[in-house]
Structure 1
Amino acid sequence: MEKLDQLRRYQDLFSKIDLFRTEIEKRNQKLTAFESHVAEMLTAKAPHEQRMEQGKGLSRKFEADIADLDSKIAKTQEQLSNATQASEYSGLRQQIEKYEADKTALEENLLTIFSKIEEIQNGISDLDQKLSHAREEYLELKTRVTEENQDFEKEIFQMEAPLEQARSEVDAELLEVFDRLQPSIGSNILVTAPGDCCGGCHVSLAPQLMERIRQQKEFVFCNFCGRVLGC
């Protein structure tokens, strides 16, 4: 039946364009997923950088405290050298020992902080290296996706005019069925009936329905899915 052939031509063009658009969307989704992956890596880096700044701030404070203790020790030692009484000498000596003990504790804490800063820095360097590789992969993927999508868009553009022409030739009743079913079941609206079954939903077809399909005198529809049945 010529009217079914017209629907088939339109359906074939529609399906090809739909396939190209699906491929474009798949590639765009892959690109978006990669962008999210890079964003997650940047988010994971932020707490490390924050801890690094906190560690550096704490180390600067300890260094300032140590410098202050050095100044106090030097001043107290000067007082010690000028001491004239035993009690004064003993008191200054004890004060120096306390300053030195405090300084030792601060220096130990400072070494611990430096070690932690180095550990964090190594972690950040590792993340930076991974980010660098990820960005390179992303740029390569973006270039490839852009080129492939441009090819798909070109194919779609070349088929748009033939699609409109084919659509204008489709019987109004068949076109209404296509437009109604396509959003929910896809563009495979006109199907054959292999093995006396609907080529879309695979429901068994009654012998009377199969005979009507073979006669090709009227439009025949699947009673279950509504698809157009043809030879």
Structure 2
Amino acid sequence: MKRIFEVVAPYLLLFLVLGALVFVTICALTTWPNRILEFSDVDSDSLSAVERADALQTARTSVLTALGGISATALVFSALWQVVEFRSSRILDRSVAWSDTYAAAAGQLGSESATLRLAGVVTLSSIVDAGPAGADSTIRATLASFIRTRSASDQNEFALKLALEHVCNSTDKSAQSFQSANLADVDLSTLDFDGIVLDGVSFRSATLHSRQRAFIDSAKNVDLAGVSWVDG
């Protein structure tokens, strides 16, 4: 109902304004000039027929000029309202479309199909810039959850590696958790673990970079058996 009112309101306002303008125009051409002349400082009784006609015409012109200004203002206001309404509608449509895309992609992460899981990760990574404020954080949290759950089944899955890259290398550094994830036998040397909770993560036989050691050493119950450390 509110949406209907928002759409109809500008047209209703314009209709009312146009109706008022028609009424005012009729009055301006008939009764108002005489009233103006009566309340002016001019002694209308002393005017000749020509002078009275000129005075009435001047009054009509003044009223119509003022009326034109009001009309122009009303039309500009209506046009601006339409622009604002159009922009608001576009923003709302984009927000709804983004939410629908996000929901569909997030749902694919739980699919039994590796192809659909990969499609979900790729889609989530691609819609960050088009999302509302906080979209990057939301997507990182979603992918971090995928990493924690999916790594227990297949830590070498390509979709999992893409999710790791997005969460770790994103410009958004809001804290995310890989707690108890199984990242064994994976090359993780290019990832930035700043802001990532690594407690309980298994890095068994993984490849890590020496610059990551500080983040890993600060975590609890980390499995580093067989880790290959690289430099440079």
Q: TM-score range by the shorter chain?
A: 0.3 to 0.5
TM-score with structure 1 length normalisation?
0.37
In terms of Rg, which structure is larger?
1
TM-score with structure 2 length normalisation?
0.36
